[in-house]
Amino acid sequence: MDNKIETYDTLWSLVDLDTKEHKVKDITTLFLNAMNDWPTMNQTLIVEFIGELKTFFGTPLTIEKLNMNKFNGQNAWNLEAGSSIAELIDISTRFGNESDFDKILNNILNHYNKEFNKVDFIAELRYLTTEEGGRKTPTKSGYRPQVKFDFDEMQTSGQLTFINKELVNPDENVKAKIKILSPDHFANTLAEGMEFEFREGATIIGKGKIEYIVNEKLEKPAAGNTVYNK
């Protein structure tokens, strides 16, 4: 099942992973700035932020509406967020010939959803030496071994997309984007710093350590927080 971006943290992580400079990244950064400035406490869901933004400024969202509100002593952060959205619309109009906010947002999410469907978490991988039982030949980026966490007997296919490398030899380390086949099975179970093995059948060919989790649905809740599965 495809991942869909729903939260600030997921979108921020994907932008942070995006090493290229381009206008979609620029306007997405402005959108994230607006979400970060919005005064609602702990606002993380994109759909809820959009609803509050439209309630405050009116619809359709235009540069004129966003600039119409004046400071009244209490709305400074609303106006700061509105300024970022106005700049977002301006850049999109000038460089992408698109001024409709809803279509701009849809373009942002479509762009980063493609990347989201390549990554659940980022990990540092170490390929074992041949003498340790590892492979005899290099592996290419996009390789799909089985991923095994020590807390679960289940193995899942995991696509390893290497970062800044195309080939990795035995006894080499590499940072990689990991996309697992069974994310629903591992919901609310993974944490940064957690270690895992990757295998070919029963043969362990390498070990990994999660650096950070992009797909928040996989993340183990902090102590004291309860997750209710719907």
Predicted pLDDT of residue 223: 66
Whether 89 and 185 map to the same domain: the answer is: no
The two tokens of residue 131 are 């003498």
Residue 226 included in any domain: no
Distance CA 209, CA 207 (A): 7
Q: Are residues 106 and 17 in the same domain?
A: yes
Domain extent at residue 67: 8-116
Q: Mark whether 125 and 144 lie in a shared domain.
A: yes
Please state the length of the chain.
230
pLDDT at 19: 87
Single-letter residue type at 150: D
In a domain, 228, yes or no: no
Residue 37: inside a domain: yes
**pLDDT recorded at residue 175:** 96
Integer Cα distance of 38 and 57 in angstroms: 13
Per-residue 3-state assignment (H helix, E strand, C coil) for 55-116? HHHCCCCCHHHHHHCCCCCCCHHHHHHHHHHHHHHHHHHHHHCCCCHHHHHHHHHHHHHHHH
Residues of the chain falling short of pLDDT 70: 1-2, 223-230
User: What is the structure's pLDDT at 229?
Assistant: 40
Same domain, 128 and 100: no
Cα(212)–Cα(219) distance, integer angstroms:
9
Q: Which of 72, 92, 116 is the last residue of a domain?
A: 116
Number of domains composing the chain: 2
Q: Which of 116, 146, 176 is the last residue of a domain?
A: 116
Q: Per DSSP, which regions of 128-230 are E strands?
A: 139-140, 146-149, 155-162, 167-168, 173-180, 195-200, 203-213
Which residues does 142 contact at the CB level (< 8 Å), separation at least 6? 159, 160, 161
Kindly state whether residues 137 and 157 are assigned to the same domain.
Answer: yes
Name the 3-class secondary structure at 17.
Answer: helix
- Picking from 116, 147, 175, the residue at the C-terminal end of a domain is 116
**127 and 86 together in one domain:** no
The predicted-structure confidence for 89-128, as pLDDT tens digits, reads as follows: 999 999 999 999 999 999 999 999 999 988 999 999 999 9
pLDDT digits (tens, 9 = 90+) for 41-50: 777 899 999 9
Residues 103 and 171 in one domain: no
pLDDT at 224: 54
User: Which residue type does 83 have?
Assistant: S
